[in-house]
Amino acid sequence: MSAPQPMTTATLYERLMALPDTQVGEIIDGVLHTQPRPAGPHAIAERGLNIDLGGPFDMGRGGPGGWWILVEPEVHFVRDTEVAVPDLAGWRRERMPTIPDDHRFEVVPDWVCEILSPSTRKKDRILKLPLYARYGVAYTWLVDPLERTLEAFELRDGHWVLIATLEDAEPVSVPPFDAITFALSDLWV
């Protein structure tokens, strides 16, 4: 039996692009990670965050505007070699004035949110949090729809600092979106 051949960056990205629509793929530390599309509680939490943050921050409705808030963007920290698909990501428009023409977002987000599920919880915490810190994402939220919690982190000196832990129906007014308040219960079914 021959030894496995190392995959080139192009081969990994080709495999990612060839995944069926029922799967999400990411390349983290040179490894292709796949998972199925999210289940209902995950989708409801994602929708709730998109509404609660997208209106005031992306659209400027009842809030300051000035952001792009996007669902499942393909973020290329290094083109085709470090690729993550956060559940939501946000960019201040002064840092990314326009949306890219293709599917690759090559500007590091200012904020990302991962919605934890049993199949992604470990990867989101152990692989993706360090990835986001390494490339300078300023804020990360971890939302757990089964536990009904939100953990918010701020990057300080290259390390994550927990700035908020909320649960159930607590009011959410957490950086970088502390200009508004919404109920955490908006995210649960």
Report the sign of the C-alpha dihedral through residues 28, 122, 72, 25, in that order. Answer: positive
Topology adopted by domain 38-187: tt1808, chain A (3.90.1570)
Q: For residue range 70-128, list pLDDT tens digits in order.
A: 999 999 998 878 999 999 999 999 999 999 999 999 999 999 999 999 989 999 999 99
Confidence at 10, pLDDT banded by 50, 70, 90: low
Q: For residue range 26-74, list pLDDT tens digits in order.
A: 899 888 898 888 888 999 999 999 999 999 999 999 999 999 999 999 9
Contact 90, 84 (CB under 8 A): no
Question: Which amino acid does the sequence have at 175?
Answer: P
* 3-class SS of residue 132: helix
Q: For residue range 142-157, list pLDDT tens digits in order.
A: 999 999 999 999 999 9
Give the pLDDT of residue 24: 86
**Could you give the dihedral angle defined by the CA atoms of residues 96, 77, 81 and 103, in that order, rounded to the nearest 10 degrees?**
-30
Rounded to two decimals, what is the model's pTM? 0.86
* 3-class SS of residue 34: strand
Reduced DSSP (H G I as helix, E B as strand, rest coil) percent helix, strand, coil of the chain, to 5 = 25, 35, 40
Give the pLDDT of residue 4: 44
Q: For residue range 171-189, list pLDDT tens digits in order.
A: 999 999 999 999 999 999 7
Question: For the residues of 62-86, what is the DSSP string, one character each?
Answer: SS---EEEEES-EEEEETTTEEE--
For the segment 155-170, the average pLDDT, to the nearest whole number, is 98
Residue 5, pLDDT above cutoff 70: no
Question: Mean pLDDT in the chain?
Answer: 92
